[in-house]
Chain A
């Protein structure tokens, strides 16, 4: 007989492990990636590939050079960050922009805190915001362009179409600033809902199709990777809050459905806010977290200088997570009465 193994109970383990969970997130992101490849072809492949390779390489190097530890890239979390980062960038991003993003995401936002599970802020979002603030021209406005027609594996046009140059939200904000009335703006054919649902939205790579993102979200729910609380509370809050504003003054504010479908809200609500590491543990905390993101998003969109606020909202709420984790879950039962 071999030497017996001895350990305290439990003696068996469930199927979940970090690699499987991260793998599921990658699978859930595939529809969005495929949609952007369908419309942008090589440039989308280039974006995702550079981003993933850069993120994985940076994590590996930092682990080996600074921590002198075993490589942790096997847990696939760097790939998730890479894909998310790619989906948060404009499709035509130059390689150096993606690389800077990867360095910020993995190097600064993740590894300086001690690697997976230790970071306070969502790495991909930190990278996006840093790039947005540092390279506003590249990250917004004319560098975005809505696909006029699908160019599968064709090159993206070098000349940017002026009318469809900005993201829908930026477009609305710009027009509002010019004093154009809301129903006038909405007549723009690029702003119809069917366009947004089926991949004709202007924006970063991951914002193209609401349906593709929804598909991924449903997959995550079925695989029990995430619970729906955070995502739903964000969406409901945005809908209700922006709906109230819209009812108050339809000429100045965009309607709630438009708010839901644009500006990466779905990408943020489904994949960024639900990041395990940077979201609260308890159901109650998760709902507060989601409501906070929703409120801040609408506030920034309606009154802020930036046309879109999901990234900022999530990062701001990320910083409240340690506090939200102080909320204790509902205990099984109350304390026995002292006799």
Chain B
């Protein structure tokens, strides 16, 4: 069984929502569709208050190469374009739409039939993915079409579909693999065609045997697609770690993943690519998990982008009494929610409730130099040292010790027996060092 070679930790699995089938979430009365749902420049609205929109209609244009258009997830009237607080309480531009009915744009194929034949050519596929606003749904929300247009210096050799879902609790990717295996495999085939490669690996961790079995069986019908069973280890779903695990190549420091020949796409993204290319459906829905040990219900949903989180919480029986922290994403890399009225985004993958006992940090004590952080770091860094250098603002040394290689996976903080918030410091130092490096004149 394959896995990445270096570091990693084993957080408790907790996939308690894995048996909940994906349901359709009701549509709220009002949606708030954010313009900044992807990495890169925010989209620019192309509708005005009072306009009538349909489901799937373009409401905002991409504003640069690394940017993505945004489509309406509901039908109704544009109420306003205003600043709406995101889940961290920071304001961002959003289109607010009052929902009236559920009328879809006619170009979208709403039938349940699985379309297997790919009629578009390479260029058209990338163009369609771009028009449909597909972004990476593994966390970074990087526009997919950009990833499918690698720089001329790199030659892609394979597609890797990330089904590792190494974060505890999250099950949305798992449900997609179980419920939409054909769509996923067609998505993988489309990605192969878009890149002009003939190999596609689907990396799945061993804790999802049903998915491995089902997809291995189905993959026989799809030439070039191969399911790879991976050992359970966090952060297997990290792009660099996954490439190392699946094809044994290492992304160079400060390099692009495609330098190894591999292009990694998340399971959710592959599904979105299928829907965009075969069904002409823009990305305005997402699949998410509502879970947590203290949560009343364990469920997986298809949500319309822009649905307020609080609406989803109410739908699942409200915020649990003993929930102390609500996280969007997994417990290792997810974001703590400050504002529960914030709308969902394309990349929203979960609402996770944690109790105080599970999440409250213990007071930090002396570093005992056990080296557990060094052993846990999947990038081969020395977190204890970076922490010390960071707290003293020693930027030259931080750079010499490659703080910029940090992938912010949190293995160091997770494993520290002295409860030192290593990643908190390292993340700050990394940002500062990257800023210094960028400001330097290029030779």
Contacts and interface: CB of A to CB of B under 8 A. Distances in A.
Contact of A281 (B331, B361, B384, B416): B384
A271 to B, nearest CB: 15
A333 interface: yes
Interface string B402-435: 1001001010011111110101100100000000
B432 to A, nearest CB: 15
A248 B416 CA distance: 48
B52 interface: no
Interface stretch (A8-16, A31-39, A142-150, A161-169): A8-16
Contact of B336 (A6, A77, A332, A336): A6
A280 B382 CA distance: 12
B196 interface: no
B420 to A, nearest CB: 10
Contacts of B6: 330, 332
Interface in A1-51: 1-2, 4-14, 16-18, 20-21
B96 to A, nearest CB: 24
A9 B410 contact: yes
Interface stretch (B20-28, B130-138, B245-253, B262-270): B245-253
A187 interface: no
A331 B421 CA distance: 22
B382 A281 contact: yes
A13 B362 contact: yes
Nearest to A10: B410
Contacts of B405: 331-332
A135 B19 CA distance: 70
Contacts of B360: 5
Given A11-B334, A117-B367, A332 B379 contact: yes
Contact of B338 (A6, A117, A332): A6
Interface string B306-333: 0000000000000100011111000111
B358 interface: yes
Given A2-B324, A21-B417, A12 B334 contact: no
A331 B255 CA distance: 14
A335 B11 contact: no
A304 interface: no
A5 B332 contact: no
Interface size class of A (residues with CB under 8 A): 35 or more
Given A16-B415, A332-B405, A11 B252 contact: no
A339 B153 contact: yes
B414 A14 contact: yes
Contacts of A307: none
Contact of A13 (B168, B380, B414, B427): B414
A337 B252 contact: yes
B169 to A, nearest CB: 10
A1 B319 contact: yes
B369 A277 contact: yes
A11 B413 CA distance: 9
A4 B402 contact: no
A10 B324 contact: no
Interface in B352-366: 354, 356, 358-362, 365-366
Given A8-B424, A11-B359, A282-B371, A332 B325 contact: no
A75 interface: yes
B252 A276 contact: no
Contacts of B413: 10, 13
B382 A331 contact: no
Contacts of A116: 365-366, 368
Contact of B331 (A10, A118, A277): A10
A334 interface: yes
Contacts, number: 162
A10 B235 CA distance: 12
Contacts of A334: 250, 252-253
Contacts of B385: 325
Contact of B254 (A8, A18, A330, A336): A336
A4 B336 contact: yes
B250 A333 contact: yes
Contacts of B252: 333-337
A320 interface: no
Contacts of A332: 6, 240, 244, 250, 253, 378-380, 405
A72 B365 contact: yes
A329 interface: yes
Interface string A94-135: 000000000000000000001111100000000000000000
Contacts of A330: 6, 380
A8 B335 CA distance: 7
B370 interface: yes
B54 interface: no
A194 interface: no
A280 B370 CA distance: 9
B430 to A, nearest CB: 12
Nearest to B327: A11
B381 interface: yes
Contacts of A14: 9, 11, 414-415
B11 A118 contact: no
A16 B372 contact: yes
Nearest to A225: B370
Nearest to B335: A9
A77 B417 CA distance: 13
Residue from A12, A18, A227 having most chain B Cβ neighbours under 10 A: A12
B259 interface: yes
Given A12-B354, A331-B381, A18 B327 contact: no
A292 to B, nearest CB: 18
A133 B366 CA distance: 32
Nearest to B153: A339
A18 B418 contact: yes
A336 B253 contact: yes
Interface of B: 6, 9, 11, 153, 168, 240, 244, 250-255, 259, 319, 323-327, 331-338, 340, 354, 356, 358-362, 365-372, 374-375, 377-382, 384-385, 401-402, 405, 408, 410, 413-419, 421, 423-424, 427
Given A72-B366, A329-B380, 5 more contacts: A4-B336, A11-B354, A18-B418, A281-B371, A333-B252
4 A-B pairs with least C-beta separation: A10-B410, A336-B255, A333-B250, A336-B252
